[in-house]
């Protein structure tokens, strides 16, 4: 039994044969196509053309999809991990939303969002939350009511950041001042963000060391005392600088006493310690004295401490695993914040300047004390954390209420030109 073979011809070839073109197809087959199946052939040709067009479009779409994916992945590698670039990238949310809308014809929304390194939910949030030109965060106060109100921004700008009397304060000290005044109570992250917006974070940025683990902390004032000394140049005594011995309290960060002398003998350090103990009623009381292993803390100081067992002498990073950074930080602030670029001709002038600097240092509100000064904490006037949190919560509720009542200053252009 013979098997009949059929040839499969394309629709374009059939149309060419029907139109009388030379195709190599025999007469009977061409006659059959022309008289029996012309309508079906034309419909099949149209269908094949549409399928080919669709296939070409899908193929081009896949190529464009892969190209966009590679390009975006290449640029996103440079942005990821760089905090400043990521912030600038996310600030262009309106542009990103517009680009995603334009690219929807090439790929689905999820893939395009992945190209930009955001989730689909973030895209819909950006699309539903328009940018506000009135607020510094560019977010609508009605939608994001927990941001700073217009009243709070004016207070921070006029009464703190742009006040001449606070021009030498760091961001941390300025924030502590707002906590002390209780006019604007915000979190430190919001305060620092507003400082960055004003450009104040760079101008007020202090010299910082690398942060280490939490150091030695006292439970109450006058429980742990730190002692150290530093050197100051005197214009008339270039070969014999002045030495300044300082003592500070661990809990309050207050400087308790100081002494200025020209020698480096331990008796000068001992004199400062004895005067401080009398002034702050520490005689006969138990406390830790933390120093380094310098020569100024030996000799007469060591002999004196042997006769007073109530004073537990601890050498930093030797008897205890902590550094003497508490007093070192105070010395650094006195040098670079209060006495910077000042020249002294005599010991008396240096001593008077240090006395004024210490008084200002002890009376400045501190962030770590929630707005209280070192002298207030030294006297036992610490901030009531429960009362402070209650006041902070009341301030937050008022901020939400003010932002929810914010009237947007939008101008409608619907009827312009009609």
For residue 161, the 8-state DSSP code is: I
pLDDT: is 142 or 219 the higher one? 219
Q: Is the pLDDT of residue 268 over 80?
A: yes
In this prediction, residue 418 carries a pLDDT of 32
In this prediction, residue 1 carries a pLDDT of 40
In this prediction, residue 275 carries a pLDDT of 93
- Percent above pLDDT 70 for the chain: 67
In this prediction, residue 224 carries a pLDDT of 93
What's the length of the chain? 418
In which element (H, E) is residue 233 found?
strand 224-234
In this prediction, residue 415 carries a pLDDT of 30
Report the relative pairing of strands 237-249 and 224-234 from DSSP bridges. Answer: antiparallel
Of 286, 276, 290, which Cα lies nearest the Cα of 227? 290
> What is the pTM for the complete model shown?
0.62
Contact present, 322 and 298 (Cβ < 8 Å) = no
Give the confidence band of 401 by pLDDT, cuts at 50, 70, 90.
confident
In this prediction, residue 362 carries a pLDDT of 93
Give the confidence band of 414 by pLDDT, cuts at 50, 70, 90.
very low
Contact present, 191 and 175 (Cβ < 8 Å) = yes
* Local structure of 350: helix, strand or coil: helix
Contacts 24+ apart (CB under 8 A), 46-50: 47/11, 48/10, 48/11, 48/12
For 337-383, write each residue's pLDDT tens digit. Answer: 888 778 888 888 889 999 999 999 999 999 889 899 999 999 989 88
pLDDT: is 353 or 79 the higher one? 353
199-213, 235-249, 268-282: lowest mean pLDDT where? Answer: 199-213
For residue 139, the 8-state DSSP code is: B
- Percent above pLDDT 90 for the chain: 18
For 18-53, write each residue's pLDDT tens digit. Answer: 666 666 666 666 666 666 555 565 555 555 555 455
Give the confidence band of 119 by pLDDT, cuts at 50, 70, 90.
confident
In this prediction, residue 363 carries a pLDDT of 93
Q: Is the pLDDT of residue 120 over 50?
A: yes
Q: Is the pLDDT of residue 276 over 60?
A: yes
Give whole-number Cα distances, 86 to 82, 109, 188, 200, in Å: 6, 21, 21, 21
192-196, 209-213, 237-241: lowest mean pLDDT where? Answer: 209-213
Mean pLDDT score of the chain, rounded to an integer?
77
For 200-235, write each residue's pLDDT tens digit. Answer: 766 665 555 555 556 788 888 999 999 999 988 887
């Amino acid at each position: 039994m013979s098997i009949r073979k059929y040839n499969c011809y394309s629709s374009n070839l059939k149309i060419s044969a029907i139109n009388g073109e030379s195709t190599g197809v025999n007469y009977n087959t061409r006659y059959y196509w022309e008289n029996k199946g012309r309508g079906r052939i034309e419909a099949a040709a149209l269908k094949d053309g549409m399928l080919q067009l669709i296939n070409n479009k899908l193929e081009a779409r896949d190529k464009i999809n892969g190209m966009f994916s590679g390009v975006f992945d290449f640029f996103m590698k440079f942005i990821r991990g760089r905090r400043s670039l990521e912030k600038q990238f996310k600030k262009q949310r309106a542009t990103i939303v517009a680009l995603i809308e334009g690219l929807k014809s090439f790929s689905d929304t999820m893939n395009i969002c992945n190209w930009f390194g955001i989730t689909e939910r973030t895209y819909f949030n950006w699309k539903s939350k328009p940018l506000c030109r009135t607020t510094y965060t560019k977010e609508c106060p009605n939608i994001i009511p927990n941001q700073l109100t217009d009243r709070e921004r004016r207070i921070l700008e006029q009464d703190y950041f742009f006040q001449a009397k606070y021009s030498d304060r760091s961001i941390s000290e300025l924030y502590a001042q707002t906590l002390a005044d209780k006019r604007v109570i915000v979190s430190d992250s919001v305060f620092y963000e507003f400082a960055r917006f004003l450009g104040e974070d760079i101008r007020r940025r202090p010299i910082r060391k690398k942060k280490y683990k939490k150091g030695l902390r006292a439970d109450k004032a006058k429980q742990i005392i730190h002692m150290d000394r530093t050197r100051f140049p005197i214009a008339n005594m270039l070969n014999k600088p002045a030495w300044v011995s300082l003592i500070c309290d661990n809990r309050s960060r207050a400087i308790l006493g100081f002494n200025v002398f020209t020698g480096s003998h331990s008796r000068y350090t001992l004199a400062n310690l004895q005067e401080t103990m009398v002034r702050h009623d520490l005689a006969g009381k138990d406390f830790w004295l933390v120093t380094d292993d310098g020569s100024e803390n030996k000799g007469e100081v060591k002999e004196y401490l042997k006769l007073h067992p109530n004073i537990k002498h601890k050498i930093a990073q030797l008897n205890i695993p902590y550094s003497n950074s508490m007093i070192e930080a105070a010395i650094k602030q006195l040098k670079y914040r209060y006495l910077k670029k000042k020249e002294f001709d005599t010991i008396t002038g240096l001593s008077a300047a240090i006395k004024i600097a210490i008084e200002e240092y002890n009376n400045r509100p501190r962030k770590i004390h929630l707005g209280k000064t070192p002298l207030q904490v030294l006297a036992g006037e610490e901030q009531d954390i429960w009362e402070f949190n209650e006041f902070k919560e009341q301030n937050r509720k008022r901020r939400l209420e003010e932002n929810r009542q914010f009237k947007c200053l939008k101008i409608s252009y619907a009827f312009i030109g009609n």
